[in-house]
Structure formats: C-alpha cells, structure tokens
Amino acid sequence: MSRSPAVPYIDNQDQLVRAHGLRPESLGENRQGRLSTGQKQDLRRKGGRALLILVAAGAVMLVLGILGLISPRSFVGQSGQLSSPLTYVFLIVVGGGLLVAGVLVRRQSASAEDVASVEGFVTKSVRNNPHGRSAPGYRAAEVRDHLYEIGGQQFAVSAAAYRTLDPALRYRVYYEPKSRTIVNLEVLDTAVGSSSAPPAAGFSPPASAPDPNNRLGAFVTAQEVSAATAAQMLPTQSKSAAEVQGMVSQEFQDSGPTWVVNVGLITRSNTPGLGLMERALAKSGRQLTGIGDEASYANGMLLVRCQGATVSVMVHNHGWRPDDPRIEGVAQQIATHVVNRLASVPT
C-alpha cells in the first residue's frame, strides 16, 4: 500500500490531539515504525493506572469471596437468606483473573517498542455492551463502547476522542499493536476549514481553506453544486452535522429554495438506509456507464460505487418533475466531482 502525504491542519486539531492523548512531535519516529520515548512513558503510565485499578478491584473481590466462604453469615442480605457458595467462588475466580490481567497489562505496556499503522476512512460506532459478567443474583453494568473501524482494524476510544474525529476525512492511524492503543493520527485529506491557530508540530496548514460549513468540502464544493444547478447554492448548517454510522452527508439549497441537493459519502456496506436505496434503484432505476465503477439512477437519486465507497446524490427541483432529464444531468455532474476526487485518493 502506498503512503499518502499528510497535508492539513484542521480546525479542531488541538481538540483532536488532546482528546486522543497524541504526540504530533513523535510522527517522525512513528512513520519509521517505532514509539518515541515520550509515547513509551505514556503507555507505561496507562499500564500503571490499569494495574492499580485491576489489582484493587481484584483484591476486593478476592477478600469478599474468601470471607464469604469462611463466614457466610457475615453477608446475610435483607431477606435473611444466605448467598449461594457459587457467588463467593465466582468472586474469587474473577478477582484472581483481575490480578493476573493487571500484571499482564503492566508487562505489556513496559515492553512496548513498535508501531503499526493503517489508513483510510474511519467508521465510527457506539455499542451498548455488558461490562464483564455478573455474579449470580447481580445485574451486569451496561457501558457504551465508542469504536473506530479502519482498514479492517477496530479501536476502542474515549467518548471525548470519539466526538472530535470527523469521519469525512481520511486518516492514517498509528497504534501500538499489542495493546491496540492509538498513539498518533495523521489527516490525509481535508474536508473542513482550517483554524487561525498555529498548527501543532508535524502538521502543515492547507494552501486554501474549504468552506467550514461543508463537511464534504474535500470532494465537492458549493461553487461546483452552484454550477451544476445554475443557482446560488449554499451548504445548510442545519444539516452539516448530519451523520449516521458509515456515512457523512451534506445538503445544499438556494435561497428559494427551488433546489435541494444532498450529497453523501458512504464507507460502510451496512450503513442504515443504503440497502433501502439500493433496492429502490434495483426496482425502478437504470444502470449508468462512464461514472465510477458502477452507477444507477432513478427520479433524482443517483448511487455510484468507487474505490470501495458509495457516493449518493439526491436532487430535487420544486418546479420540475422528478423524472426530468435535467435532474439526472445535475446529479451526474455533482457525482462526477466526488468520484474523480475519490479516484485520485491513493490506496
């Protein structure tokens, strides 16, 4: 896989770095496949904190389990019933497992040396999962896992980090392969405006800043949408944050509004709504040639596959019928801009 150059300084660069705990000054060493001294210290501190938490939790569970077996009447509940011996055995087993896990995490963080990397679009998802197992008679705590998926790899991140990463951009993610901890990020394409703040070390500002209200500014601009519709089109701020798992979309309107154009970039095959659009086009649409790897169109809706992603363009004009051929021409012209830029992205 060829390496794409890291180009932009984006408008929330500082928040991205802080929330992920990154060291941009270490990018040079990360590109050579190794951790910097500062990153090693960061991982050891994280390993030390994990050790303390796991050992403390494990010790408490061990003590409770052992005391429960030795003196079960010390733990009689409000109902007056004794807990099952299996409960205390469970606490002992889990407590011992936590102690072992703490030692392994600490040893793993202390031996970290290498860095692996993967690049592409990041698919963000949030999942509700039970936190560990519940002992008999106890309910498991529910937690929300914030996840990144990129290039076949999956990473768990904090909620704060999750909120700062824009899935409309392509990234190179550097991570420590044993712990699967993200240690650095590089932005490969810019789709949002640049900041007036000075860039962090390792990043360079783009030559020109796209419209900060346009989430897909790296692939299609308001000027290009305006040229296709022959009307003054602007990105609608109310829709600029619209996002579902695996898809980033941007709506454009004129002042009437006579025109409404929605452009979407879909990077995940199971994105909600994609299957519905594909079935609708399979039923009433027709195949188009000369645009992307595969394209289909019907009544103002165009889907194009290119570079493993799907581009969706939906066009509506209040004065024209949906099957007006001029609508199709507008949709194809806009999709062509996105597809050409996708095709130029190194893989």
Nearby residues of 184 by Cβ (< 8 Å), 6 or more positions away: 22, 23, 24, 26, 27, 30, 39, 115, 173, 174
Residue 3 has pLDDT above 60, yes or no: no
Look at residue 314 in the predicted model and tell me its pLDDT: 94
Question: For the chain, what is the mean pLDDT?
Answer: 75
Rounded to a whole number of angstroms, the distance between the first and last alpha carbons of the chain is 6
The residue ranking higher by pLDDT, 178 or 52, is 178
How far is Cα 239 from Cα 237, in angstroms, rounded to an integer? 5
Mean pLDDT of 129-158: 68
Peptide bond into 257 cis (omega under 30): yes
**pLDDT given for residue 289 in this prediction:** 85
Tokens of 290: 């000369």
Lookup: tokens for 299: 């009544």
153-192 per-residue burial string, b: 16 or more CB within 10 A, e: under 16: eebebeeebbebbbbbbbbbbbbbebbebbbbbbbbbbbb
Pure H helices in the chain: 13-20, 27-31, 37-70, 85-110, 159-164, 222-229, 274-284, 325-343
Nearest-angstrom CA–CA distance, 184 and 176:
10
Q: What is the mean pLDDT of residues 302-329?
A: 90
Digit-coded pLDDT (tens) for 178-207:
888 899 988 875 443 333 333 333 333 333
Q: Helices marked H in 158-273 — which ranges?
A: 159-164, 222-229
In this predicted structure, the answer to whether residue 145 has a pLDDT above a threshold of 60 is: yes
CA geometry: angle 125, 133, 181, nearest 5 deg: 45
pLDDT of residue 149: 87
- Reported in sequence order, the residue ranges of 151-223 that DSSP labels E, i.e. its strands, are 153-157, 170-176, 181-187
Q: Between the CA of residue 214 and those of 231, 248, 256, 263, what are the distances in Å?
A: 17, 11, 20, 11
pLDDT in tens, 220-279: 888 889 888 988 888 886 443 445 567 788 899 988 879 999 998 887 766 667 777 788
- Helix, strand and coil in the chain, % to nearest 5: 35, 25, 40
Return the higher-pLDDT residue of 275 and 162: 162
pLDDT in tens, 306-317: 888 889 999 999
> What number of other Cβ atoms are within 10 A of residue 120's Cβ?
23
What mean pLDDT do residues 43-52 have?
A: 66
Calpha distance 156→162 (Å, rounded): 9
Q: How far apart are CA 41 and CA 198, in angstroms?
A: 26
Cβ-contact 260, 251 below 8 angstroms? yes
- Among residues of the chain, what percentage have pLDDT more than 70? 69
CA 344 to chain centre: 22
